[in-house]
């Protein structure tokens, strides 16, 4: 089959690889019909290379049609239309029972001390072959796959794999009070959907980015925006818009590659030049994250407010302003989305033909699998109006 493979920093190629087969009774094979590229894939493309091996199949946002199931898989059958969560969870361990599927004790990656294995996401998360491919082996298929109805286009459901549950969890964790105000930093797909979900749930939303078409997309969905290029200081601008106090909550939908962090950017570039083993040690021992978005969240949120971190961070000793965080009495929540925890909340919204979250107005590009190298580059460089890239194998 054809699959998108990681080959090196900023180098992905579509190659012919062996078709996946059932390896465990709990596996299923799906024929992929749509599969998206995520901001998390960009971290693999740019800074997490030391954890990748040339030839790794990328992708963790797939959906498709069930081709084959293992003997222990009874919840889905051949021909079913399913969306696959990005985290691989068993559904029956202590963590899964407590709705913490991203910490599943059956699939945790002990070698790296990390949580649940993820599709297509480096050695840190189990080096499982991903879903930007014609076919995908789905581990733990007795629990993971989300059946969806036939009829509507793929994009109505595709974002249940990651973007929607991630954004939903980000809004939950932001603990926005009734009639409260939330600032959303970053208007990539995750920030777009966090903004729409918070607004749908009654909050006033002010979103921040500096990419014109992303700001425009947010405004089209009724979101107030701040173009970073227009203000000297984002925190001050947010206080000006909120009676001087600041928003009740802030969501970081940016992560480790934020712009405006020149020192950490240099550290990231430097680790990219080191041999993998040395680079991994450096990433594990020193602060290599670009923290500007997180620092803005901490600065902007009102005293006693909550910062909800969706953006992925990877440094082990990032310097944070502990005095400011303690003095302001800031609550912090973060983590990978527990995808299946939020599906019951989201399903009524994505099956509603009125499309209340506008899921059919998120993808900027729909492309054949073979165009993946261009799609990664355009998405990373934000060229050609790239906001969300959907590949159709
Ligand atoms: N927690 C989870 O389970 C989970 C799931 C999916 C994605 N993520 C993470 O969420 C983050 C966003 O993903 P995405 O797909 O939307 O990526 P993206 O790269 O398309 O979006 C990031 C956006 O942030 C903007 N930005 C950069 N620096 C900024 C700053 N200082 N202030 C405000 N905006 C800034 C960029 O212009 C861009 O529009 C990534 O870190 C990704 O890894 C986390
Ligand atoms: Zn993703
Ligand atoms: Zn589990």
pLDDT value at residue 42? 95
Q: Looking at residue 160, what DSSP letter applies?
A: G
180 lines ligand 1 (CB under 6 A): no
Closest Cα to atom 8, ligand 1: which residue?
Answer: 311
Residue 103 has pLDDT above 80, yes or no: yes
Evaluate if residue 95 carries a pLDDT over 70: yes
Q: Answer yes or no: is pLDDT of 283 > 90.
A: no
The mean pLDDT of 97-124, rounded to a whole number, is 96
Residue to mutate, 255, 297, 341, 377, ligand 1, most ligand atoms under 8 Å from C-beta: 255
Mean pLDDT of the chain: 94
Q: Are β-strands 389-392 and 331-334 bridged in parallel, bridged antiparallel, or unpaired?
A: unpaired
User: Which residues are close to ligand 3, an ion, with C-beta < 5 A?
Assistant: 89-90, 93, 96, 104, 106
- Complete edge-to-edge strand list for the sheet that includes strand 306-309: 224-227, 204-209, 181-185, 249-252, 306-309, 331-334
Whether the CA torsion 292, 328, 283, 274 is positive or negative: it is: positive
Q: Which ligand is nearest to the CA of 265?
A: 1
Check residue 105 and give its pLDDT. Answer: 98
Residues 6+ apart with CB under 8 A from 352: none
pLDDT at 385: 98
Q: Is 258 in the pocket of ligand 1 (CB under 6 A)?
A: yes
Q: How far is residue 59's CA from residue 6's CA, in Å, rounded to a whole number?
A: 10
Assign 161 a pLDDT band (cuts: 50, 70, 90): very high
Q: Is the Cβ atom of 185 under 6 angstroms away from ligand 1?
A: yes
């Amino acid at each position: 089959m054809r699959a998108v493979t990681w080959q090196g920093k900023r180098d992905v190629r579509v190659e012919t690889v062996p078709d996946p087969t059932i390896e465990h009774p709990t596996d299923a094979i799906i024929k992929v019909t749509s599969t998206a590229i995520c901001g998390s894939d960009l971290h693999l493309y740019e800074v997490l290379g030391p954890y990748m091996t040339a030839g790794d199949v990328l992708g963790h946002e797939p959906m498709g049609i069930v081709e084959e199931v293992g003997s222990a898989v009874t919840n889905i059958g051949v021909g079913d239309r399913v969306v696959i969560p990005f985290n691989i969870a068993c559904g029956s361990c202590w963590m899964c029972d407590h709705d913490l599927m991203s910490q599943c004790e059956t699939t945790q990656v002990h070698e790296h001390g990390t949580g649940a294995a993820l599709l297509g996401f480096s050695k840190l998360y189990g080096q499982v072959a991903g879903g930007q491919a014609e076919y995908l082996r789905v581990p733990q298929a007795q629990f993971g796959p989300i059946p969806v109805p036939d009829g509507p286009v793929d994009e109505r459901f595709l974002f249940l794999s990651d973007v929607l549950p991630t954004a939903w969890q980000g809004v939950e964790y932001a603990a926005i009070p009734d009639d409260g105000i939330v600032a959303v930093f970053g208007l990539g797909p995750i920030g777009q959907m966090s903004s729409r979900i918070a607004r749908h749930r009654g909050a006033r939303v002010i979103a921040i980015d500096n990419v014109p078409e992303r700001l425009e997309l947010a405004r089209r969905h009724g979101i107030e925006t701040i173009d970073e290029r227009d203000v000297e200081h984002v925190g001050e601008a947010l206080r000006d818009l909120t009676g001087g106090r600041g928003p009740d909550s802030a969501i970081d939908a940016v992560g480790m590659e934020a712009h405006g962090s020149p020192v950490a950017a240099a550290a990231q570039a430097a680790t990219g030049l080191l041999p993998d083993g040395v680079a991994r040690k450096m990433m594990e021992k020193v602060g290599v994250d670009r923290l500007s978005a997180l620092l803005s969240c901490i600065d902007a949120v009102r005293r006693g407010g909550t910062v909800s971190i969706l953006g992925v961070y990877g440094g082990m000793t990032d310097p944070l302003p502990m005095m400011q965080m303690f003095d302001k009495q800031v609550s912090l929540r973060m983590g990978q989305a527990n995808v299946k925890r939020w599906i019951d909340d989201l399903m009524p919204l994505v099956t509603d033909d009125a499309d209340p979250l506008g899921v059919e107005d998120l993808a900027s590009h729909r492309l054949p699998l073979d165009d993946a190298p261009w799609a990664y580059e355009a998405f990373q460089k934000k060229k050609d109006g790239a906001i969300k890239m959907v590949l159709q194998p």
